[in-house]
Amino acid sequence: MLPQKETITRLLHELSGGQKQAFDELIPLVYDQLRKLAANCLFSERPGHTLAATALVHEAYVRLVDSDIAFEDRAHFYAVAARVMRRILVDHARANQRQKRGSGAEKVPLDEAFIVGRDTPDAVVELDDALRLLEARDPRKSQVVEMLFFGGMTYEETASALNLSPATVHRELRMAKAWLHRELTQSASAS
C-alpha cells in the first residue's frame, strides 16, 4: 500500500481527472487533518461561536466536492481547504453582522438602546478585509498567512506548496504579520 501522502496525491489527481468517486476515498484520509484545520480556524473565535468545527468541515466538504479545482498535491488541497474554511467563517460573520444591524431584530426604544451598548465589528471580518488588502498588494504574503494560520500547515509544507525555501516563508510571514498588525491597529483607531 502506498504511503498516505502519495495515496492522497493520487486520489487528488484522479479527482482532477473527473473521477468524482475518488473524493469518497479521499475524505476518510484527510478528515482528521480537515478537522484540525477547522479547529485552528475556530480557535480565535469568541466562546459560544455558533459554527462548530464539524459543521465547518462538512460545509467545506460540500464546497470542495462541488468545485472544479485541479488539485496538484496534498499541500495544495489543504491550502484550498483552508481558504474555503476562511470564506465560510467570513460569510458566517458577515451574516451575523447583518442580523445585528436589524434584520429581523426586535425594535427597542432609543433610551433602552443606550443601555445595551454598541456592537463592535467582528474580528474575523476585519482580519479578512486586511488579508484582502494584503492579497492585492502582495499575494504571496497573503498565501503564506493563509496556509500557516488558517491551513495549519508547517513552514516546510507552505514552502513546498509555494515553491519557496522555509527561510523565505519565515521572512514573508514576519513582513505580513507586521503589515497586518499596522493595518488592523489603524482600522481599530479609526473606528
- Over residues 136-185, the pLDDT tens digits come to 999 999 989 888 877 777 888 888 888 899 999 999 999 999 998 898 88
- Structure confidence at residue 119 as a pLDDT band (50, 70, 90): very low
The answer to whether residue 81 scores a pLDDT higher than 90 is: no
The answer to whether residue 112 scores a pLDDT higher than 80 is: no
| This prediction's pTM | 0.64
- Structure confidence at residue 105 as a pLDDT band (50, 70, 90): very low
DSSP output for the chain: ---HHHHHHHHHHHHHTT-THHHHHHHHHHHHHHHHHHHHHHHTSPTT-SS-HHHHHHHHHHHHHT------SHHHHHHHHHHHHHHHHHHHHHHHHHHHTTTTPPP--HHHHHHH--PPPPHHHHHHHHHHHHHHH-HHHHHHHIIIIIS---HHHHHHHHT--HHHHHHHHHHHHHHHHHHHHHHHHH-
Does 56 or 66 have the greater pLDDT score? 56
- Over residues 6-50, the pLDDT tens digits come to 888 888 888 888 887 888 888 888 888 888 878 777 765 555 556
